[in-house]
Structure 1
């Protein structure tokens, strides 16, 4: 069932919340336990780590990747690469449950045919945040971004495509999925400092899956 209006409910009682032209939150959309199982399998092969910014600052969020391409950052800059720089091996394959969720969420948001080739997995712990930024390292800007929240709740910041545009805040809970593309594809976004707490599935952590079409 395709929904297009703010606050609409699907057949399973899940709410679709429009947060701007081309951007929506699918409340409680990601409930498959295979998602966290997939994260664990990926991390066994490609461990979570702290990347560095081109300026040499350590990024507070721990990261890893799966899929044909992985997002990395170091002194050479921000980019996608087919190999894990820690192991020299290809990134783990994207689990089927990941790809299916990304396709379904994108379709619900109006982006039919989305086929991600990269999934950046972020692990937040209390006290860590993600500053406002744009996702602009991808070659396929016509494809949306699909961002999945698992574990501890977070406060998501979402603005416009101009850094000076107003920024709104949205509370994200376990299972919420944010999708943005089209006119919102280069929207500035981030996550405020994660508050302390514990989740029955992730402990003192929030896991974020960010699906992209990088190439």
Structure 2
């Protein structure tokens, strides 16, 4: 597993167009978690169903003008929460600011996220290797923020079945990928048992996208 010293993780290249910004979100973590709590009070976490009828182990909700949903009809973005029929909670200013600054540090200036997918991991949950390709603007990067219990990021290639790097993600880490790395297969390995002083045994992930 790739887990270098803190100074080496401040801007760690993963591939052309992809890098890890170690600890970038640390100063904002308590405020980010409070924003998550307020979003979840309006649009509760839920376990979505895949088009194949399987229940996802990771619970999720959304903030922003669009929210990512999945059911038997497929993967897509919707402007309203299917559970309530209401618009998704507005994206907090801190969310958007952090996403813009992270993208700029990674070489993608002008990023303006429309959607923030918020994933909640419990021990034993995981996210299998996949591509983020439901967005119309594939020329725009993905910005991913880790909060809470440490996880292992799986970073593959442009096709299934290739070599997969295993990268340690710590509280406050941010990963950005775009350009030639935009359709890289990626995922999260099974979350181990662990405790974090701010989140207990949970891990939260904020994934910012320009979707519409």
Assess same fold via TM > 0.5: yes
Distance, in Å, in 2 between the alignment partners of 1:140 and 1:165 is 25
For 2:104, what is the secondary structure of its paired residue? helix
RMSD: 1.6
1:4 alignment partner in structure 2: none
Aligned partner of 1:177 among 174, 179, 186: 174
> Is residue 37 from structure 1 mapped to residue 26 from structure 2 by the alignment?
no
Could you say which residue in structure 2 is the equivalent of 1:25?
A: 20
Give 2:53's aligned residue: 56
Separation in structure 2 between the aligned mates of residue 77 and residue 17 of structure 1, nearest angstrom: 35
**Runs of 5+ unmatched residues, structure 1:** 1-6
1:38-88 Cα distance to aligned partner (Å, 9 max, x none)? 100100000000000011100000000000000000011000000000000
Return the alpha-carbon distance in structure 1 between the equivalents of residues 57 and 182 of structure 2.
Answer: 24
Q: 3-state DSSP class of the match of 2:48?
A: coil
Aligned to 2:145: 148
- TM-score norm. by structure 2 comes to 0.95
Cα separation, 2, equivalents of 1:207 and 1:8? 21
Aligned to 2:123: 126
**Which secondary structure state, in structure 1, belongs to the residue aligned with residue 88 of structure 2?**
coil
By relative contact order (CA 8 Å, sep 6+), the higher-ranking structure is 2
* 1:5-63: CA deviation from partner (whole Å, max 9, x where unpaired): xx996xxx971100111000000000202111110010000000000001110000000
Displacement after TM superposition at 1:159 (Å): 1.1
Q: Distance in 2 between matches of 1:34 and 1:14?
A: 23
Q: TM-score, normalised by structure 1?
A: 0.93
Aligned to 2:136: 139
For residue 107 of structure 1, what is the aligned residue in structure 2?
104
Contact map agreement 1:8 1:16 (CA 8 A) in 2: no
Name the structure 1 match of 2:202.
205
1:83-98 matches, within 5 Å, as 83-98=80-95
* Corresponding residue of 1:161: 158
Distance 1:140 1:21 in 2: 19
